[in-house]
Amino acid sequence: MLYVLLGEDDFSLRRSLEEIKGSIGDPAILAANTTVLEGQQVTLDQLRTVCEAAPFLAERRLVIIHGLLERFEAKSKSSRGKTGVQQNEYKSLGEYIGKIPESTILVLIDGKITGRNPLLRELSAKAKVTSFPLLRGTELRQWMQRRVGERGGSISPPALDLLARFVGGNLWIMANEIDKLVLFTSGRRIEEEDIRLVVSYAQEANVFAMVDAILEFKAGVAEQLLQQLLQRGAASAYLLVMLSRQVRMIVRVKELRNQGKSGTEIQNKLGLTSEFALRKTLERADRYSLARLKEVYHKLLEADLSIKTGKYDAELALNILIAELCQQHKLYST
């Protein structure tokens, strides 16, 4: 039996893999009959050896290969010289995979793969192919609603929308945040204020807003946001780290965009798991000048040093930082 699991929704993909494992038999025996291979390096001989090995005290063995289809995705112009070699590889692999012994269950796991992938086209008629794209819009909200219900909770439509905006389509993070919210509300309906209090990205959203206020010389707004964050339990030293991180991220995005990197490449390089954080960072990279960003970043480093040397405590250092950066604007505008 051949399964192909594709897509960026790693949460749903992993659940599907667990269902396949559960259908095979005893987990303890299956563990002794499971082999995991890296698709970028596996050879036909290695694959044949593994697939044709007899199961140990069982009727089936499981072989999982990560990234085999990606190996045959269309590459850049610089790698076109490998086309002939790749063609022979995918044909020989595809031919063998279609004839694996009945005692072997083979699962190919990949991320986002194009319909032009030659190995996928070779195997599509022989395999059970399932795609797991990132959920968005209505589909994401339906998934969230089901997850809340499965955990014994309920959620208001505005809270559902707010949670979707903060977390996006990463279901690992979304599932964790929903579980926290259901425990926090303890039987009552989840509301918007619960999202702002409990969800990790809610605090990040307020930090983004404070970055905006500082970069735009809005001292009053920045000070108000700072006090709100402190009242909700955020530590001053943590806020300074978060502010520095956000500004550094925006600078990195500007640099990567100048190098011609796509949004997906930028997200991967910066390790941003939240669509909300990615979107906000991209927006700010377009909005603010590099000179202003660097000025704020250097002031943040100075504030950090003043705390570490004992010159100021963290809260005072943040208030002085906001005042200085907005006062500088007044000096520039005279």
Question: With the CA atoms of 305, 292, 294 and 327 taken in that order, what torsion angle do they form, in degrees rounded to the nearest 10?
Answer: -20
Does the global pTM surpass 0.75?
no
Mean pLDDT for 55-76 is 86
Burial of 207 (0-12, 13-18, 19+ CB in 10 A): buried
- The per-residue pLDDT for 162 is 87
Mean pLDDT for 251-262 is 88
The second-level CATH assignment, the architecture, of 137-198 is: Orthogonal Bundle (1.10)
- The per-residue pLDDT for 88 is 74
- Which residues face 129 on adjacent strands? 4
Residues of the chain with CATH 1.20.272.10: 201-333
Burial of 83 (0-12, 13-18, 19+ CB in 10 A): exposed
- The per-residue pLDDT for 300 is 87
- pLDDT tens, residue by residue, 294-333: 888 888 888 888 888 888 888 888 888 888 887 755 444 4
pLDDT band (50, 70, 90) for residue 87: low
Give the count of beta carbons closer than 10 Å to the beta carbon of residue 64. 19
Residues of the chain with CATH 1.10.8.60: 137-198
Helices 44-51 and 83-97 cross at an angle (nearest 10°) of 10
- The per-residue pLDDT for 73 is 85
Three-class SS state of 245? helix
Cβ 224 vs Cβ 206: under 8 Å: no
Helical residues (DSSP H) of 168-272, grouped into ranges: 171-185, 192-198, 200-215, 219-231, 236-258, 263-270
Residues of the chain with CATH 3.40.50.300: 2-131
Please provide the average confidence, as pLDDT, over all residues in the chain.
Answer: 85
pLDDT band (50, 70, 90) for residue 77: very low
- The per-residue pLDDT for 334 is 34
Least confident of 3-7, 171-175, 184-188, 200-204: 200-204
d(CA 210, CA 321): 12
- pLDDT tens, residue by residue, 110-161: 988 888 889 999 898 889 999 999 888 899 999 999 999 999 999 999 999 9
Three-class HEC string of 128-194: EEEECCCCCHHHHHHHHHHHHHHCCCCECHHHHHHHHHHHCCCHHHHHHHHHHHHHHHCCCCECHHH
CATH fold group of domain 201-333 = Zinc Finger, Delta Prime; domain 3 (1.20.272)
Statement: residue 235 has pLDDT above 80:
no
- pLDDT tens, residue by residue, 103-115: 999 999 998 888 8
- Measure CA of the first residue to CA of the last residue in the chain; give whole Å: 75
Statement: residue 8 has pLDDT above 60:
yes
CATH fold group of domain 2-131 = Rossmann fold (3.40.50)
Q: What is the DSSP letter of 53?
A: S
- Which residues face 34 on adjacent strands? 62
- The per-residue pLDDT for 139 is 93
Statement: residue 85 has pLDDT above 80:
no
The first and second tokens of residue 189, run together, are: 């309906």
Cβ 3 vs Cβ 64: under 8 Å: no
- The per-residue pLDDT for 90 is 83
